[in-house]
Chain A
């Protein structure tokens, strides 16, 4: 059973605020990912990590940043939120080794910037 948790589930906040979206997994997975999904649209990869101290930008350009200080924790930060950042953010993880490992997803954070 996959155990990956995202907090908060919903966040409504004003423009200019600093935001951190939390993602934690208890499976010991080395690989972790952040996706952005707008309603009715496909998921786009914005950040990924192969392990501690590893972070890479994904296919979709994003103003957010990530860090990977501990294996189980992969937070995403927006320094100054804008209405264009309104979206759903999904975190995922997978085992390392071959690339034939399924990704396990959290329930997402639905972010709304006023």
Chain B
């Protein structure tokens, strides 16, 4: 059964710092790995989707990597800003069985960027 773990649970950094959020998953048989952002009281916003055949995806100041062999993904945020403060969620899309393509989520990393 797929399990997704995110470390750290919370992170506080000064504005302008580069930072890395970590995600690990137990079953490498995945369609893709997705990163989301969740603001308080809101739903999730899709940030990046890495297909199982890809190694990384980039969008603006965000870069996500995927290493299926080690069951790890990282989300790199460059030049952090206070507006980046949110909870970042990692989710693995399962490959087999009746729940094909459904997402298994981690608990998230709560990021606070101080001005």
Contacts and interface: CB of A to CB of B under 8 A. Distances in A.
Interface of A: 6, 31, 33, 40-45, 48, 56, 58-59, 90, 92, 98-100, 102-108, 110
B98 A56 contact: yes
A42 B106 CA distance: 6
Given A42-B4, A42-B107, A90-B44, 20 more contacts: A6-B43, A33-B102, A41-B107, A42-B105, A43-B44, A43-B89, A43-B91, A43-B105, A58-B99, A58-B102, A92-B44, A99-B93, A100-B32, A100-B51, A100-B93, A102-B49, A103-B44, A103-B103, A107-B41, A108-B41
A74 to B, nearest CB: 14
Interface of B: 4, 31-32, 34, 36, 41-46, 49, 51, 89, 91, 93, 98-108
B101 A99 contact: yes
A32 to B, nearest CB: 12
A48 B108 CA distance: 22
Contact of B45 (A6, A99, A105): A105
Nearest to B9: A40
Contact of B46 (A6, A45, A103, A108): A103
